Amino acid sequence: MKNEKKQDTESQDDKLNRMELIDIVVVAGSLGLTLFVCICTGVFIGRFIDVHLATSPWGIIVFSLLGTVTGFWSLYKKTVSYMNKDIKPPGKNRSN
């Protein structure tokens, strides 16, 4: 009886640890996707300007740098907001 109860507790702890790990992976994926999208948007806008205004390579250089700066600024803001949250991680609030 004690062993079954101990196994149930361990499995609950394992479930919580897995949920916390999933939450961390989701946050990291979100941050990576944000940076990727910002940089790609800058590159595409720069390429569009280069093609239509014949400013090659300056449009792609300027807008890819602008996209990179914007991406890192967005990462900074998201990271600060995650660090300032004074709530439990989502895995702690779930019931299963």
pLDDT digits (tens, 9 = 90+) for 42-66: 999 999 999 999 999 999 999 999 9
- In this structure, is the dihedral angle defined by the CA atoms of residues 82, 33, 92 and 13, taken in order, positive or negative? negative
Domain ranges (residues) in the chain: 2-85
Write down the pLDDT at residue 19. Answer: 85
- Low-confidence spans in the chain with pLDDT less than 70: 1-10, 86-96
pTM equals 0.71
